[in-house]
Amino acid sequence: MRAFHIRPARDTQDMASARRLFRDYQGYLNVDLCFQGFETELNTLPGDYAPPVGELLLAWETEDRGEGLFLAGGVAVRPLYQKAATEPVLVPGACEMKRLYVYPQYHGQGIGGRLAHQIIACARQLGYQRMVLDTLERLDEAVALYQRFGFQECAPYYDNPIPGVIYMELDLTAV
């Protein structure tokens, strides 16, 4: 029997695991994320995902006997910034869910839902009132998951050159 637990990423090993997960996520998407400053993000983890303004959660599998610890997935939240003339400007009360990814061998076990639930709870605890995200329309399961949590399509909140992007938002003040 497999058991999973989710915990915040805090130490150097966790950041190395998150870095590997995010690279694997990019490979899974098969898109170039350089327009998002992806390499800088990886090299400066936890960056904007660090408390008290963000969070980075990792899901781990443990075996029955308590032996071994295997990375199953992860997700992050950070403050939302909008592009301005000279530098990005913080959007008060708004955050962005980033990098929700579960390795394919763990699909269908509810890990994505647990990660989404916990990162939404973290965002509320951090005092955010609105959460946004972007995903690809071809990721049917991800879109359905976000809709189950109450996310709705919204206007683009940044320029994303990848075809088939869907922008979504969630009112974190709604019960």
**Cβ atoms 120, 169 nearer than 8 A:** no
In the structure encoding, which two tokens stand for residue 47, read together? 């960056």
In the structure encoding, which two tokens stand for residue 143, read together? 């879109």
- Quote the pLDDT of residue 44: 93
Residues of the chain with pLDDT under 70: 1, 64-68, 84-85, 175
In the structure encoding, which two tokens stand for residue 81, read together? 């910034």
Vertex 125 angle, CA 121 and 126, to 5°: 115
Cis peptide before 46 (omega within 30 of 0): yes
pTM of the model: 0.92
End-to-end CA distance of the chain: 34
Cis peptide before 52 (omega within 30 of 0): yes
- Quote the pLDDT of residue 124: 98
- The neighbouring-strand residues paired with 97 are 77
- Looking at every residue in the chain, the average pLDDT score rounds to 92
**Domains of the chain, first to last:** 3-128 (3.40.630.30)
- Quote the pLDDT of residue 85: 64
- The neighbouring-strand residues paired with 76 are 56, 98
